[in-house]
A and B are shown apart, each in its own frame.
Chain A
Amino acid sequence: DADVTQTPRNRITKTGKRIMLECSQTKGHDRMYWYRQDPGLGLRLIYYSFDVKDINKGEISDGYSVSRQAQAKFSLSLESAIPNQTALYFCATSDHGPSEGVQYFGPGTRLTVT
């Protein structure tokens, strides 16, 4: 969905490096999410934010941190990358009201930690 963009799309980094993944949305949604996808494991929630001042840990937050700089921007950081953080990372947004629960995903960032 072009309304949700992620940068970079691909990244290779070394163990121990700090890396930031960025997400921007033009949908005007309050809620934003970060997931990681691993083959055979589906999507797992890392962090989610209901507004700029409301950030919550998800299922697998260890080793990650986030920043909600504005309603439209939600960044994911790996403070010290390790190889088992190699995965496909997705940002998503959602709204409330009639479309409750429907999430809109960005194209993903493929991260490789060597």
Chain B
Amino acid sequence: AQSVAQPEDQVNVAEGNPLTVKCTYSVSGNPYLFWYVQYPNRGLQFLLKYITGDNLVKGSYGFEAEFNKSQTSFHLKKPSALVSDSALYFCARGGAGSYQLTFGKGTKLSVIP
């Protein structure tokens, strides 16, 4: 079965510092990988996706993610965190021809001024 894991329930980072939110995925076929963000009292918003091609994917709000096949990881990164980046982040995976997404449990990011 397809699955994703987000090993950290919470990540704290100082404003201006680089941030990383971790995600690993189960090895099954060629994964489609996604990151979504949820701000308080809002639905999830798409940030970026990896399907094929360059391992480094750039998305909205200055976020990027690196697909690492050997480590089965798809970590979300940003060079300089903003307080407004504080939110709940979800990693998700799908597969070719499958429009279902399997979501991780989410990681709460807190950016400290």
User: 0/1 per residue, A34-63, Cβ < 8 Å to B?
Assistant: 010000111111001010000000100000
Q: Is the beta-carbon distance between B46 and A104 smaller than 8 angstroms?
A: yes
Q: How many residues of B contact A (CB 8 A)?
A: 21
Residue of B nearest to A1 (CB): B43
B67 on the A face (CB < 8 A): no
Residues A103 and B103 in contact in the complex (CB < 8 Å), given A40-B9, A43-B90? no
Knowing that A94-B99, A104-B46 are A-B contacts, what are 10 other residue pairs whose CB atoms are under 8 Å apart, sorted by A's residue number? A50-B99, A92-B43, A101-B32, A101-B49, A101-B94, A101-B101, A102-B34, A105-B36, A107-B43, A108-B41
10 contacts between A and B (CB under 8 A): A42-B106, A43-B90, A43-B103, A45-B101, A92-B43, A100-B51, A101-B32, A102-B34, A102-B46, A103-B46
